[in-house]
Each structure stands twice: as C-alpha cells, then as structure tokens.
C-alpha cells in the first residue's frame, strides 16, 4: 500500500462537498447469519447499477470470498503464521491479525479518499460512492477490540459510516432469540455510536413480518411470549406460568421499545436479491443521520483534541524558555565570580538591564522559530498520529 501524508477527515464527511457523499457500509453479524452472502449480493447489485463499490475484506481466516476485494487483510497478514508464531487459537489469531492490520489504517483511509474524489488526470473516471466492509464472523472480535474501534473510527472520521447488522431471520423466530439479537444490536449501537440498520436476512426461508410487528407493537410481542410459554412449558411455573425466562424477556422487550425507534428495519433475501432497493434507501437515510448527529460530536472531539495539543505546545515552549533563562543567568554569574569584581554588582545589574532587549529579541526570535517548527511538524502524519487513535484513548 502507498504511504500517506495525512489522515485528516475529507470534505465529504464534513459535508463541504456539493456532490453526494460516499458512504461506508460495515457489515457485522453472528456467524451463519449470511453476512458474506449479503456482501456478495449488495456488491453485485451496485455493479448492476453501474456504480461499482470499493470492497474491503477484514476477515483474515476466510479461505475464499465470493466477491473481489479491493483491499484484503489476507494480502497483508498471514492468519496461519500469526497463530503459529504467537501460539494462539482461532479467535486470538483473528484478533492479533486485526491488530497488525490496524497499523495500516492511515494508508487505507488515504486510498479510500483518493478513490472517492474526482481524479483531475482522468475526469471520466467516476468516484466511488459506496465502501463495503466485510468483518469476521466472530462479531465480538471486531466490535469489542481496540483494532476494530480504530478501524471504525477511522472510516467515520472521513466518510459517513453505517453499521448493517445482519440477522438470521429463521433463527430469530422465537421470542428469546429475538430479544437476544436485539440486545446484541443495542450493545453494538452504543459501543460504536454509529447509525445502524437491522437487516433481517433469509426472508426467502421465513418472512420477517413477525419481527417488524414485535418491534412496533409491545402487546403483540407479549402475546407471542405467552403463547410460547403455554405451548412448551419451559418456564419455572409450568405451562402458562411466569418463570424467570418469561419475566426477563418481557422486561427486556419493554426496555428495548425506545431502542427500536432509532433503527431502520429492512427484510432482505441474499439468495433471491429482494429488498436491495429498500436497503440502500435506508443507507442514504442513515448517512444523513450520521451528518446530523454523529458528525457534530466528531467535530467537537476534534476541537477538543486540537485545544489540548495547543496547550501542550505552549507549556512545552514556556518550560524551554524558562530553562534557557535560568541557564543564561547561571552562566553570567560564573563569569562575574571569575572576574572578582565585588564592587560591580549594581553596575552588573545595569549591564544586564541594558542587555535585556537583545536577549529578549533573541528569545522572541527563537520562540517564533520553535512555534513554526512545531506547526510544521504537527502537519505530518508521524506527529499528528491519527484522530481515530485519539478517540480511542479518550474512551479508556
């Protein structure tokens, strides 16, 4: 990958561009939810619309992917070698591979910014409007890891970023598994603080209308819960009883009622290709939500970061100036002791007063040069580091 010179957020994320903003779609989901198949479907859908996306694969353990990736973690990190060298298991190998790959985040963002902006040398080349990111099947390895946080916040610092949470609809037909999925989605939403779309996949196997009803009608969910309880008698109170599980699921459904109002619900079938238009309509809606809700917070944190850097520079500069003044005073005192001029103490003060303007001018000149050097250095990627890393440090 080519090296980068800056990791500053692009104008697309700040809304300064007059054209449509490219959107990063990060697909996450439980193992077996059809996440990779969904990625293939939306990729082919965009190609069919003559709007090819930029595809990133972040799963180091996958053997084959049914789509062509522009950036593939497997090209940079050998998952099997990581497991051998660090004596790790499968999950530890994936996590370590992501950590190693996260060190290239600035290069990734630089490549994305080049592909999402017009090319002056080739005006006919259409900029990319969608960035598709496939994540490991072990969802917790990506969402709850430091490297996953850095990657997500790096994308969000440059582009409107949307989380697509893929749900296996047939396996969510029971009230308990439905609530479990919703709780996991809730935790991801508040961990990433990014707009989220609930994608109920495999609707060709089971229709997702029941999930929509449960999310919008509390009484309907309670009725389904009581029906299940009466049918299999799994509760502590027997059939029709109010066992611990029944009570817990009922309470959680009431708690999540407000959570549902912040999500978009899209039923799709990755196999048949249904629901694609609804999904991308939801993506555009969430991209606008990103600009309205997430971006102001991002800008506030950036200003806070810049203010902290400015104060740190001023403190460092003041310490350096004070140290130079003390050293200069000590040097003059030693010279006076060697000369042995006991009667010239007052005169020496006069001489020092006469010399102050020159010393002050020298210090002011040095100070201005030092500040200029700091400003120049701050523009480099090595001095500025990454805003995403700053955000991650603030969350500790």
Task: Convert the pLDDT of each residue in 258-272 to its tens digit.
Answer: 788 878 899 999 999
- Judge if pTM exceeds 0.75: no
Burial (CB < 10 A; 0-12, 13-18, 19+), residue 179, is buried
pLDDT band of residue 228 (cuts 50, 70, 90) is confident
* Spatial distance between the Cα atoms of 62 and 81, rounded to a whole number of angstroms: 14
Q: At 142, give phi and psi (nearest 5°).
A: -90, -50
* Superfamily classification of domain 23-227+250-301: P-loop containing nucleotide triphosphate hydrolases (3.40.50.300)
> What is the pLDDT, as a whole number, of residue 302?
72
Residues 6+ apart with CB under 8 A from 296: none
Domain ranges of the chain: 23-227+250-301
CB atoms within 10 A of CB 116: 22
The pLDDT > 90 percentage for the chain reads 43
Question: Which H, E and C letters describe 296-322, residue by residue?
Answer: HHHHHHHHHHHHHHHHHHHHHHHHHHH
**With 50 as the cut, is the pLDDT of residue 322 above it?**
yes
* Spatial distance between the Cα atoms of 98 and 96, rounded to a whole number of angstroms: 5
> What is the pLDDT, as a whole number, of residue 229?
79
The region of weakest confidence among 28-32, 354-358, 370-374 is 354-358
The region of weakest confidence among 63-67, 116-120, 164-168, 361-365 is 361-365
Structure tokens belonging to residue 23: 């959107």
**With 80 as the cut, is the pLDDT of residue 87 above it?**
yes
**With 70 as the cut, is the pLDDT of residue 374 above it?**
no
CB atoms within 10 A of CB 233: 13
> What is the pLDDT, as a whole number, of residue 394?
57
Cα-based distances in Å from 155 to 26, 110, 140? 10, 11, 19
The region of weakest confidence among 90-94, 179-183, 222-226, 292-296 is 292-296
Residues 6+ apart with CB under 8 A from 160: 12, 13, 21, 22, 23, 24, 286, 287, 290, 291, 295
Mean pLDDT, rounded, for 307-324: 81
Mean pLDDT, rounded, for 237-244: 50
The pLDDT > 70 percentage for the chain reads 74
Mean pLDDT, rounded, for 58-76: 92
Mean pLDDT of the chain: 80
> What is the pLDDT, as a whole number, of residue 47?
95
Residues 6+ apart with CB under 8 A from 171: 32, 177
Residue owning tokens 């060697």: 338
pLDDT band of residue 4 (cuts 50, 70, 90) is very low
* Spatial distance between the Cα atoms of 336 and 349, rounded to a whole number of angstroms: 11
**With 50 as the cut, is the pLDDT of residue 383 above it?**
no
Residues 6+ apart with CB under 8 A from 234: 243, 245
Structure tokens belonging to residue 152: 């997500």
The number of angstroms, rounded, from the C-alpha of 185 to the middle of its chain's C-alpha atoms is: 16
Helix 35-48 / helix 276-289 crossing angle, nearest 10 deg: 90
Residue 128: left if φ>0, alpha if ψ -120 to 50, beta else—which one? beta
Q: List, in sequence order, every beta strand (DSSP E) within the chain.
A: 23-29, 54-57, 71-72, 130-134, 161-168, 196-201, 264-267
Structure tokens belonging to residue 179: 């609530």
Task: Convert the pLDDT of each residue in 29-58 to its tens digit.
Answer: 998 899 999 999 999 999 999 999 999 999
Radius of gyration of the chain (CA): 29
The region of weakest confidence among 63-72, 170-179, 380-389 is 380-389
* Spatial distance between the Cα atoms of 40 and 132, rounded to a whole number of angstroms: 10
Top pLDDT among 188 and 339 is at 188
> What is the pLDDT, as a whole number, of residue 11?
43
Asked if 201 and 270 count as a contact pair (C-beta separation under 8 A), the reply is yes
pLDDT band of residue 212 (cuts 50, 70, 90) is very high
Taking the CA atoms of 58, 60, 65 and 70 in sequence, report the sign of the dihedral they define.
positive
CB atoms within 10 A of CB 133: 23
> What is the pLDDT, as a whole number, of residue 336?
60
Which of the residue ranges 36-50, 237-251, 259-273, 313-327 has the most confident prediction, judged by mean pLDDT? Answer: 36-50
Task: Convert the pLDDT of each residue in 117-154 to its tens digit.
Answer: 988 888 888 899 999 999 998 888 888 889 998 999 89
The region of weakest confidence among 133-137, 149-153, 290-294, 346-350 is 346-350
> What is the pLDDT, as a whole number, of residue 42?
96
Which of 193, 369, 393 shows the shortest CA–CA distance to 309?
393
CB atoms within 10 A of CB 383: 11
Which DSSP string do the residues of 8-71 spell out, in sequence order? PPPHHHHT--SSPPPEEEEEEE-TTS-HHHHHHHHHHHHHHTT-PPEEEE--TT-S--SS--SE
């Amino acid at each position: 990958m080519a090296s980068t010179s800056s990791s500053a957020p692009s104008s697309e994320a700040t809304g300064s561009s007059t054209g449509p903003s490219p959107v990063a779609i990060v697909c996450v989901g439980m193992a077996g939810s059809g996440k990779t198949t969904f990625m293939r479907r939306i990729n082919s859908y965009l190609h069919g619309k003559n709007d090819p996306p930029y595809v990133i694969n972040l799963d180091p353990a996958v053997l084959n992917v049914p789509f062509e990736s522009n950036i593939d973690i497997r090209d940079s990190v050998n998952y099997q070698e990581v497991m051998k060298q660090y004596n790790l298991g499968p999950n530890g190998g994936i996590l370590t591979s992501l950590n190693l790959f996260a060190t290239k985040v600035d290069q990734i963002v630089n490549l994305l910014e080049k592909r999402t902006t017009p090319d002056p040398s080739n005006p006919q080349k259409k900029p990319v409007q969608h960035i598709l990111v496939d994540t490991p099947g072990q969802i917790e390895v990506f969402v709850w890891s430091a490297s996953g946080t850095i990657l997500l916040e790096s994308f969000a610092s440059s582009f409107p970023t949307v989380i697509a949470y893929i749900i296996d609809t047939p396996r969510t037909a029971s009230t308990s598994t439905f609530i479990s999925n919703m709780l996991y989605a809730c935790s991801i939403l508040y961990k990433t603080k990014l707009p989220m779309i609930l994608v109920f996949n495999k609707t060709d196997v089971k229709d997702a209308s029941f999930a929509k009803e449960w999310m919008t009608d509390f009484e309907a969910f309670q009725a389904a819960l009581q029906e299940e309880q009466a049918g299999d008698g799994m509760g502590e109170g027997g059939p029709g009883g109010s066992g611990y599980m029944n009570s817990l699921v009922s309470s959680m459904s009431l708690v999540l009622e407000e959570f549902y109002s912040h999500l978009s619900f899209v039923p799709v079938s990755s196999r048949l290709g249904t629901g694609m238009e609804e999904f991308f309509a939801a993506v555009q809606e969430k991209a606008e939500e990103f600009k309205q809700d997430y971006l102001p917070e991002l800008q506030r944190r950036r200003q806070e970061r810049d203010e902290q850097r400015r104060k740190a520079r001023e403190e460092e500069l003041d310490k350096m100036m004070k140290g130079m003044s003390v050293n200069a005073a000590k040097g003059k005192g030693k010279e006076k002791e060697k000369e042995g001029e006991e009667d010239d103490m007052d005169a020496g003060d006069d001489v020092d007063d006469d010399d102050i303007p020159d010393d002050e001018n020298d210090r002011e000149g040095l100070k201005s040069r030092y500040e200029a050097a700091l400003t120049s250095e701050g523009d480099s990627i090595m001095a500025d580091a990454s805003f995403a890393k700053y955000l991650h440090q603030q969350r500790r």
